[in-house]
Chain A
Amino acid sequence: MDKNIKTEAHYAERASAQETSMPATSESQSKSKSRTTSASAPRLGVEKTYKLYINGKFPRTESGRYFTVADASGNNVANMCRASRKDFREAVVAARGAFSGWSRASAYLRSQILYRVAEMLEGRGEQFVGELTATGSSKRAAAQEVTAAIDCLVYYAGWADKYQQIFSSVNPVASSHFNFSILEPTGVVSAIAPQEKGLLGFVSDIAPIIAGGNTVVSLASEQNPLCAISFAEVLHSSDVPPGVVNILSGYRNELNEHFASHMDVNAVIYNGADADEIKLVQEQAANNIKRVVIRKKPAAPDPYQIMDCQETKTTWHPIGG
């Protein structure tokens, strides 16, 4: 894939675009340096293998199957893991295992970790611009998408320790009780990412889920899965505990049903407008009364998207001496 990412001009453009942003990490600096070298003195590129991200590890699909992602001209950009229902099952186990710790992590910590993710993405921005342009984005659009994704993470990082204050309540009941309602994460969320905007769509989808203390199994855009899978590397280096975010690539028509039907998943988010797919997801979700969120078109980030995967818990206690 790296064969499509090669100009120094691009890196110069990126560098100037981020002159007010965080400095890149030493890791990505050295990486871009080596790439620059390879571009000026041609050598055989070392291509990246895209794998799944489950429980903080990068396994290949247990099925051994793959599918290909092509650029605008139809050239093969990468072989992607075509995740199976068993991969999904493993990912749900990981997400369930991580839920207790993540849901009880302090809001402050979740906020810091999300901000850390934004920092890491900022540092690796070039890589994502490259992946986006490789699959058809213009450079400008790619750069915009990357910065929007970073800003989205910062936005939700800020919400992580605030939405509770906006949406909780103290309820003035008539009896001699103190009564309050707080929000708690719904649990394990399966999320079918938007097909468009392989990075921003994915990030916009998972950020409010994890900001709210849920854990997630996400199905990357089938059309442009590169960024979502690469984003795993960002998460991996950002103190996000293993299992909090699990990322699969594969076919929607194979996985939608399982994303919606799994009995240990508490909510399913579907991004897209395909009526048949929506119906399938809604039907299967009824197995265990899953919360179903359908997002037919992308929405600007807002805290109501955090609320989509929150439960209201109301506590009563007597007031007495």
Chain B
Amino acid sequence: MMPEASTAEMSAPAPDHVSRVDQVGVEERVARFRTRSIKKSSKVHALKLVLSQIDLTTLEGQDTPGKVRQLCQKAKHLHDTLPDIPHVAAVCVYPMMVGVAKKALTDSGIHIASVATAFPSGMATTEAKLEEIKLAVEEGADEIDMVISRGKFLQGEYQAVFDEIALCKEACGDAHLKVILETGELGTLDRVRHASDLAMHAGADFIKTSTGKIQPAATMPVTLVMLQAIRDYYYKTDRMVGMKPAGGISKAKLAIQYLVMLRETLGEAWMTPEWFRFGASSLANDVLMQLKKQETGVYQSGDYFSKD
């Protein structure tokens, strides 16, 4: 059974057809992004953009409807005393919390993203994964964040990984599919590149670094390799694919460095919530504190910003 999506292809790119990646070169390029000095008006612009690109996330075993409702409230009202603050792009929850979020976010314009496919390990049958996706979509998820089967990928069963992604894409229906590579388990940047290509060819709307449950989660080198894969895929197919680094980005300064990297790799078209997201839980408040500091000139305390 193969997916019908016109953007998907029939088979997984073999590793020997995947572009090579040199780790040290990637790290050097990242170091250059990190030396960019973002000040004043360009900093304010970037901070607001970061807020608008956040997938505000809670993915805990202890999540409750109450916790999710609080998170949704925060998503809508980041810091009402600061003027011209955008809302976040989405909240990201487990499938069984999608209904709660859906209700809380009615008419807010904020998307509901749901992890699925036996998140975070992906250790379930394909059938179970598809069922989970369908459930989440039925409950109202706009976006599905799936995990790839890393075990199969590392075993070299690329076609199986590819087919599973394609099936998930089909199961998503109108919902967007974000494919989590869990790069912290892939070992090398070459494999990150290969998995990115594989996911995009199988129909991913977004590729995403991490579940947040494995260290290292998102890093700039990994994200750069994925951005470059997106660029090459775009040149080849004319189809834009989004990017979501997730996990480990909790400071505004780092988020801005990601935006610098995005700007200088994919350019203007990707600089929106539609094509770039941060998967994060505590990033928003640090960005808000920086915005307040820009407004007042005074360094801020966390006590003045709501934590949910």
Contacts and interface: CB of A to CB of B under 8 A. Distances in A.
A-B residue pairs, 9 tightest by C-beta: A320-B23, A318-B24, A320-B24, A321-B188, A176-B24, A321-B23, A318-B22, A320-B22, A318-B25
B25 A321 contact: no
Interface string A288-321: 0000000000000000000000000000001111
Give chain B's interface residue range (CB within 8 Å of chain A): under 10
A3 interface: no
Interface in A218-249: none
A162 interface: no
A176 B31 CA distance: 13
Contacts of B23: 318, 320-321
A177 interface: yes
Nearest to A317: B24
A197 to B, nearest CB: 55
Given A176-B27, A320-B25, 14 more contacts: A176-B24, A177-B24, A318-B22, A318-B23, A318-B25, A319-B24, A320-B22, A320-B23, A320-B24, A320-B27, A321-B23, A321-B187, A321-B188, A321-B189
Contacts of B188: 321
10 contacts: A176-B24, A176-B27, A177-B24, A318-B22, A318-B23, A318-B24, A318-B25, A320-B24, A320-B25, A321-B188
B36 to A, nearest CB: 21
Contacts of A177: 24
Contacts of B24: 176-177, 318-320
Contacts of A319: 24
B85 to A, nearest CB: 41
A177 B24 CA distance: 8
A321 B221 CA distance: 12
Interface of A: 176-177, 318-321
Contacts of B25: 318, 320
Nearest to A176: B24
A177 B189 CA distance: 18
A172 B108 CA distance: 58
B274 to A, nearest CB: 33
Contacts of B22: 318, 320
A319 B24 CA distance: 7
A319 B23 CA distance: 8
A176 B189 CA distance: 16
Nearest to A321: B188
Nearest to A320: B23
Contacts of A318: 22-25
Interface in B1-56: 22-25, 27
A96 B24 CA distance: 39
A270 B141 CA distance: 85
A141 B90 CA distance: 98
A175 to B, nearest CB: 8
Contacts of A321: 23, 187-189
B224 to A, nearest CB: 14
A321 B21 CA distance: 9
Nearest to A177: B24
B28 to A, nearest CB: 9
A9 B27 CA distance: 79
Interface string B184-223: 0001110000000000000000000000000000000000
Nearest to B21: A320
A227 to B, nearest CB: 56
A302 to B, nearest CB: 40
B200 to A, nearest CB: 23
Interface in B75-134: none
Nearest to A319: B24
A318 B25 CA distance: 8
B184 to A, nearest CB: 14
A320 B22 CA distance: 7
A28 B23 CA distance: 64
B218 to A, nearest CB: 18
Interface string B173-189: 00000000000000111
A176 B24 CA distance: 7
